[in-house]
Structure 1
Amino acid sequence: MATAALASERESDYLSQLTMAAARYANRTERREKNQSALETRGPLYADAPERVEKRLARLGADWAMIRAIQRTPTEPASSAGSTLQLPPEAFTSEVLGLERLIGRNNLTPVAFLEEGVQVSRSVGRITINGPGGGHGTGFMVSPSLLLTNNHVLRGMEEASRSEVAFAFQDGIDGSPLVPAVFQLEPLRFFVTDRALDYSLVAVAPRGVQGEALSSFGRLVLSEAEGKVVVGEFVNIIQHPRGEPKQIALRENQVVDVLERFLHYESDTREGSSGSAVFNDQWEVVALHHSAVPKIDAEGRPLSIDGTVWRPETGEQRLAWRANEGVRISRVLRALHEAPLSGEAARLRDEVFTTGLAPSPRESAAPMPPSDGRPTRPRTDGSQAQAQEQTHAADGTVQLTIPLRITLGFDTPMSSQAALVAPLSALAPTSKAPPQPPPTGRPDVVAAVEKDVDAALINHRLTQELPYYDRTADFAARDAYYAHIGTGDGDGLRRALAMLLTDTHEPQPRYKPMRLVYPWVDLHKDGRLHSIYSGRDFSAEELIQADAAVAKARLARVQELLLQESTAGPAEFEAEFDALEASMPFNCEHVVPQSWFAKKEPMRGDLHHLFACEVGCNSFRGNFPYFDFPDFDEAVRDACGMRESVGFEPQEGKGVVARATLYFLLRYPGQVGDAAREFPEDRLPILLRWHESEAVTEYELHRNAAISEIQGNRNPLIDHPEWAREIDFTGVWS
């Protein structure tokens, strides 16, 4: 094909790309304006979908409790430590600074941010297409052998076969250019492309033209998990604009919209930036940059900076820009998963996904080259290609892949002095063989537990600055919440409340007692946690540490199970994990037992029925329904209460658990009561008696307000105790 024809085809493809990007942008105008309004009035946490925000916070090791504490803490002019928060110096952690930045309270970032940026930039290179229709683009290594770029940069194998990538094509710190390392592309070994998602994945020669090792430039670890960025956050783009030496568009590039397959963001990119990696502030790849969004006329045609219709021959530098568009990296990976490959091609494709827990850029990227630009010697420990058997989900849980996938929510933190709450001897693995260390290269998931501890303790420390309960503000919030609820018809009142509780239950936190229950929600006014059944009190730190010990012991047992040879199928493994959880419970009570709703979310994580409870009382109650024993006061009973075959009556907290159970019946009608051991309809009078005999306390008012801030809905029996006799509960069992 003639050079002119190739150039014309490339220009036509680019014009088509621009036109489609502009159309997508125009079609989202209303949504984008709503996003912008939310960003201006409330901030990034409220501009995106609640489930995306929750996943983002989980990925950052944070949650709504911490965010709300930071939002509500009064500010003052920046101190010498640089923060606007009134916190002691030891509280200035990267997590707190990162969350302050996310909600617009502080623009500080740890200096390691720059160091990590330098490391990840090593894996980004300039692509040169030689011969007819040639040009430049950007690409980045995503496995030991494969480079990712745009389809419109490398449209086919023939074009890729005459292309090369140059790493370290950049200036050194003294301003002089480094010596780039040039590698040929090898599409005959691997080439996959997708025009709709505008990506091409191609093999790179393992040695450069001067003998350099490709492995010395590392790779960027990609993740399919959601929660890497939300509307309102800023992204960073490492690129080779117009084929020039490597440059970066740093941070002032705000995400303005998230589509099903694309991101729209404002940034300073130029021609030649196609195929660049778009990073969040943790240097995770969130998108593959592929197109500018141009200004268009009424007919949808791109405009030049002088207002005339733009033509490819006038040059990309003449285009009038509005925004930029990137393909979401999770969508690229999903499509790559589905590509019909076999043999060596399938093996190379799978290397993109053998990442396990994404290491930090310091761990995943190769060291910087010496000042003469020569790449350093490649690593020889094989760690880059080490297949991992564990991954982190977006919600912060840990997934272990066996014959089936089981998700373990290590929703609590660090090691412990938990003897007061649960003797450590009882938490030890039951197998005679000691736990084996994970294989080389397997991520340390115990570190994830420790990270949860740190976040929980930060949560607890931040909330110490908050008023325990603001009656005026809470009563105003209560009145607004029920403003459209009418009384008089018992069944109508029940239906209206059920709908309100469901519609306002956003976000829906997963079961994380260490992070959400102990640090703030369940605290009493004395600053301590009181067991719901025994009344025994503990510090928040005690239960956080105790649950961390449980999480670590569970993990040790899980590792043993995985290392043991077994022919057990999915049902047997599930039974093993259920037994493990039952034998090593957390210090948290579901007043409606988990077995009644098969441990499903959002019931399992609904804070309105979660309470601190030492494991002894937790196990003593089991899943027995509540019961009112006539001889309770005279009977010899456990400190937690009295239990017989007919049920369980707690020593303390009867009014509290009654209101929590009544809430559950309203919020989840039809979920309980359909089995003999579950709460039957004929025991409703017990709950109503307990509710009326013990008035709502300030502790419950505090809980209700705190939970409302975290998950959006409220408990009507706390806000309006008089409604208990007005509501027709019979419909909750149908």
Structure 2
Amino acid sequence: MTTAELFSPTEPDYLSQLTSAAARYADRTERRERNREVLRTRGVLHADEPERVEKRLARLGADWSLATAIEREPSDPVAAAGSTLRLPPESFGSDVLGLERLIGRNNLTPVAFLEEGALVSRSVGRVTINGPGGGHGTGFMVSPSLLLTNNHVLRSQEEARRSVVAFSLQAGIDGRPLTPAVFQLEPHRFFVTDRELDFSLVAVAERGARGEALASFGRLTLSEAQGTVVVGEFVNIIQHPRGEPKQLALRENQIVDILDRFTHYESDTREGSSGSPVFNDQWEVVALHHSAVPKTDAEGPPLSVDGVPWTPDMGDDRLAWKANEGVRISRVLRALREITLTGAAARLRDEVFVPGTTAAGPAPAPVESAPPPAAPAPSGNGASARPGPDGSRAFVADGTAHLTIPLRISVGLDPSVFPVASVTAPPPGPVPPAPPPAMRPDTVSAAERDVEAALVNHRVALERPYYDRPADTAAREAYYAGVATDDGDTLRRALTELLTRTHNPRPRYKPMRLVYPWVDLHRDGRLRSIYSGNDFSAEEFIRADAAVEAARTARIQELFLHEGTAGPAEFEAEFDALEASMPFNCEHVVPQSWFLKKEPMRGDLHHLFACEVGCNSFRGNFPYFDFPHFDEAVRDACGLREDVGFEPQEGKGTVARATLYFLLRYPKQVGDTAREFPEDRLPLLLSWHASEPVTEYELHRNAAIAELQGNRNPLIDHPEWAEKIDFSGVWP
């Protein structure tokens, strides 16, 4: 089979397509206006779904903490490197500049942005349909053989048969036109079209009319990965408007809404631009431009520029439009996967899902997604997935090692890899990084990016006021407005609902990026272990955790290479053993094993604290306990542990309030066994809370966490509520 077509029973013409686009746009008016208001008042980090924003930041090598730190920093137009941040030039890598660009702080970008744009533009050509009903559109190569455009540009195999695509139809740097390379389309080899999603995919001849090689124009790698664009971001469109020489709508094109299958943006495109690629600032294709959103009358038909109903015989140039609509590229790929093809056609289709190179240049960022199940899945660093026992598969994508067995476990890939340490209890103090062996350049780059982003965040944090009491007081009063305190059970339920509803976004567990740079700092800019009170610099813990994570990843890679007979249970046990033997310098006051390491509990910043690995491992998952003669039996600087529990040397009031928060935020999640803090130990938490008042350090933490994940700890904001809340409903 060489062709396929997906269509609805009634073939839509161009007029009905415009009407549908206008209807979708009208249906989203309320949401779009809300997006615009949030963009105006709060910025791009807050207008889209939190999960999509987090994934977008991750693709930029950043996280919510770094992004909000940059967003909050006062502008300084004369700062180093042209940035608005008051930091030394060596602090400004692509992460920082990319984030400032994303949130609209400045328009700086590396010169390579233009160079890469010139490279990707070579894969974009003008499609010309000859004969009856002819015209022009835009298309772009998405594999070595296949060109993507709109269905309304190439509606059928017959129409494609009499069409050509011309590359290099543009002016050169001297202003003189280049000689275009014209290629015949070959729908007899491959033609797939989807009328509802408005795309057509067609084969192109290997040689042009003058003998040019199609391969010299490269292709654009498409990705199904999430996080390629968010509401409020600016996009770039390479196009042939009205069939004219190639042009670029650069960055003044803002995404105003993202639907399930389409996206709306405001940009300068014209007729003939149908089929153009829509790019983010990393030159990843995020959408297939397919329609203007026309102005309409009260009944729905499009209007002309003269204000009268528009008809196709008037021509596209007479259409009055107010926005543009593109088809999300992930939805195009999803539809393409679902089409049943065989033989040569299936092989050509599968090439779309394999990362490739742009013309005369290096490969663009590889895709996360795997091709249809036959070939090994490409990884985020270009490596193939390794099939394992029981259908398991492993690959590395976006700096994360993934294991599918069929469950999926993820371990962050951060800095350089070094040999795995022996499985023994770690000594007190942060784990020092060991010298790395030879490794892949992309691994080193990912490591440096992650550590440096955390260090930039820390430098920005040190320039901020440590705790703004008036601002935090106002924020606290607004947060709890309307919470009734008369009845203990009602108060508990209201707080649980409030903490859950406002927990947005919900960051993943990443202490080196989210805990050490700002959240857990004391006024002197340093970290103190929650159990021992020992003093550390943020950089110590950042680099130590990065080294630990790299060691874990090295061991995982060894498993994939040398332990092919291991099954899912063995892999899962190995992951648990790795975390136990090589812990981070971060303590969950509610142990991870109590909630099976699930998110959002695992990454909830309210119960994460800096803690050197010796104390972290010594406490383990023992519940808190009060020993009657604690002063006579202190274990080093951490505390005392016996079979009945663990009593810390320091931080009792702080950990009590963090645990009480957890019980309110996640009722009935812990406490069903004696080792999971049963209800009869509630008086212990209340006693520690009452005996050690809230400190400025906790007030700072609470305010910092509220900025990052939206919710607050009621026991810090209103210590008096501890005696009012009826906690009986939080246990299973």
Please, what TM-score do these two structures have when normalized by structure 1? 0.89
Tell whether 2:419 aligns with 1:421: no
Aligned partner of residue 193 in structure 1, secondary structure: strand
Relative distance call for 1:277 and 1:492 in structure 2 (3 A) is: same
Relative distance call for 1:633 and 1:342 in structure 2 (3 A) is: farther
The amino acid that maps onto 1:422 is V
Question: Aligned residue for 2:62?
Answer: 62
Q: For structure 1, which segment, 293-302 or 551-560, has the greater mean C-alpha deviation from structure 2 after superposition? A: 551-560
CA–CA separation in structure 1 for the residues paired with 2:461 and 2:417: 23
User: Residue deviations 1:634-689, cap 9 Å, x none?
Assistant: 11524321111211111211111111111000000011012342111111111111
Question: Aligned residue for 2:504?
Answer: 506
Relative distance call for 1:646 and 1:565 in structure 2 (3 A) is: closer
1:225-624 matches, within 5 Å, as: 225-355=225-355, 363-364=362-363, 388-389=384-385, 398-400=400-402, 403-404=405-406, 406-410=408-412, 413=415, 421-424=430-433, 444-564=442-562, 566-624=564-622
Aligned partner of residue 347 in structure 2, secondary structure: helix
Question: Aligned residue for 2:693?
Answer: 695
Aligned partner of residue 230 in structure 2, secondary structure: coil
Aligned partner of residue 632 in structure 2, secondary structure: coil
User: Residue deviations 1:181-238, cap 9 Å, x none?
Assistant: 2233232332222111111222223333333332222221222122222222111100
Unaligned runs of 5+ in 1: 1-9, 367-381, 429-434
User: Residue deviations 1:18-61, cap 9 Å, x none?
Assistant: 11111111111111121222222222222222222222222222
CA–CA separation in structure 2 for the residues paired with 1:499 and 1:383: 40
Question: Aligned residue for 1:161?
Answer: 161
Aligned partner of residue 631 in structure 2, secondary structure: coil
Relative distance call for 1:708 and 1:383 in structure 2 (3 A) is: closer
Deviation of the 1:247 alpha carbon: 0.8
Q: Pairwise CA RMSD of aligned residues?
A: 2.9
Contact 1:116 1:361 in 2 (8 A): no
CA–CA separation in structure 1 for the residues paired with 2:674 and 2:108: 57
Contact 1:277 1:287 in 2 (8 A): yes
CA–CA separation in structure 2 for the residues paired with 1:124 and 1:384: 25
1:87-126 matches, within 5 Å, as: 87-126=87-126
Question: Aligned residue for 2:370?
Answer: none
CA–CA separation in structure 2 for the residues paired with 1:385 and 1:340: 29
Deviation of the 1:409 alpha carbon: 3.8
Relative distance call for 1:414 and 1:561 in structure 2 (3 A) is: closer
Question: Aligned residue for 1:42?
Answer: 42
Deviation of the 1:542 alpha carbon: 0.8
Contact 1:144 1:385 in 2 (8 A): no
Contact 1:411 1:512 in 2 (8 A): no
Contact 1:530 1:612 in 2 (8 A): yes
Question: Aligned residue for 2:727?
Answer: 729
Contact 2:415 2:443 in 1 (8 A): no
Aligned partner of residue 251 in structure 1, secondary structure: strand
Deviation of the 1:447 alpha carbon: 2.9
Deviation of the 1:361 alpha carbon: 10
CA–CA separation in structure 2 for the residues paired with 1:497 and 1:101: 38
- Alignment equivalent of 2:682, drawn from 681, 684, 688: 684
User: Residue deviations 1:427-454, cap 9 Å, x none?
Assistant: 99xxxxxx8967xxxx834532321112
Deviation of the 1:310 alpha carbon: 1.1
1:635-646 matches, within 5 Å, as: 635-646=633-644
Aligned partner of residue 363 in structure 1, secondary structure: coil
Contact 2:402 2:411 in 1 (8 A): no
Contact 1:398 1:407 in 2 (8 A): no
Aligned partner of residue 252 in structure 1, secondary structure: strand
Aligned partner of residue 619 in structure 1, secondary structure: helix
The amino acid that maps onto 1:73 is E
CA–CA separation in structure 2 for the residues paired with 1:383 and 1:600: 25
Aligned partner of residue 469 in structure 1, secondary structure: coil
Aligned partner of residue 84 in structure 2, secondary structure: coil
Aligned partner of residue 689 in structure 1, secondary structure: helix
CA–CA separation in structure 2 for the residues paired with 1:414 and 1:453: 11
Question: Aligned residue for 1:715?
Answer: 713
Relative distance call for 1:292 and 1:636 in structure 2 (3 A) is: closer
The amino acid that maps onto 1:691 is H
User: Residue deviations 1:605-631, cap 9 Å, x none?
Assistant: 100001111122111111111111122
Aligned partner of residue 444 in structure 1, secondary structure: helix
Aligned partner of residue 207 in structure 2, secondary structure: coil
Tell whether 2:214 aligns with 1:205: no
The amino acid that maps onto 2:106 is N
Relative distance call for 1:89 and 1:56 in structure 2 (3 A) is: same
CA–CA separation in structure 1 for the residues paired with 2:334 and 2:169: 31
CA–CA separation in structure 1 for the residues paired with 2:18 and 2:244: 22
Deviation of the 1:257 alpha carbon: 1.2
The amino acid that maps onto 2:287 is A
The amino acid that maps onto 2:324 is N
CA–CA separation in structure 2 for the residues paired with 1:209 and 1:387: 37
The sequence identity of aligned pairs, in percent, is 75
CA–CA separation in structure 2 for the residues paired with 1:323 and 1:208: 36
Contact 2:403 2:410 in 1 (8 A): no
Deviation of the 1:143 alpha carbon: 2.1
CA–CA separation in structure 2 for the residues paired with 1:687 and 1:411: 37
Question: Aligned residue for 2:626?
Answer: 628
Deviation of the 1:102 alpha carbon: 2.6
Please, what TM-score do these two structures have when normalized by structure 2? 0.89
User: Residue deviations 1:370-412, cap 9 Å, x none?
Assistant: xxxxxxxxxxxx999977437776xx56243555463424275
CA–CA separation in structure 2 for the residues paired with 1:169 and 1:297: 38
Q: For structure 1, which segment, 93-102 or 590-599, has the greater mean C-alpha deviation from structure 2 after superposition? A: 93-102
Q: For structure 1, which segment, 186-195 or 706-715, has the greater mean C-alpha deviation from structure 2 after superposition? A: 186-195
Question: Aligned residue for 1:148?
Answer: 148
Relative distance call for 1:71 and 1:630 in structure 2 (3 A) is: same
Contact 2:594 2:670 in 1 (8 A): yes
Deviation of the 1:695 alpha carbon: 1.3
The amino acid that maps onto 2:203 is A
Q: For structure 1, which segment, 596-605 or 164-173, has the greater mean C-alpha deviation from structure 2 after superposition? A: 164-173
Relative distance call for 1:411 and 1:623 in structure 2 (3 A) is: farther
Contact 1:69 1:466 in 2 (8 A): no
Aligned partner of residue 231 in structure 2, secondary structure: coil
Aligned partner of residue 13 in structure 2, secondary structure: helix
User: Residue deviations 1:459-507, cap 9 Å, x none?
Assistant: 1111111001111111111111111112121111111111110011011
Contact 1:219 1:364 in 2 (8 A): no
Contact 2:515 2:605 in 1 (8 A): yes
CA–CA separation in structure 2 for the residues paired with 1:508 and 1:383: 26
CA–CA separation in structure 1 for the residues paired with 2:677 and 2:80: 57
The amino acid that maps onto 1:154 is L
Deviation of the 1:79 alpha carbon: 4.8
Deviation of the 1:550 alpha carbon: 1.3
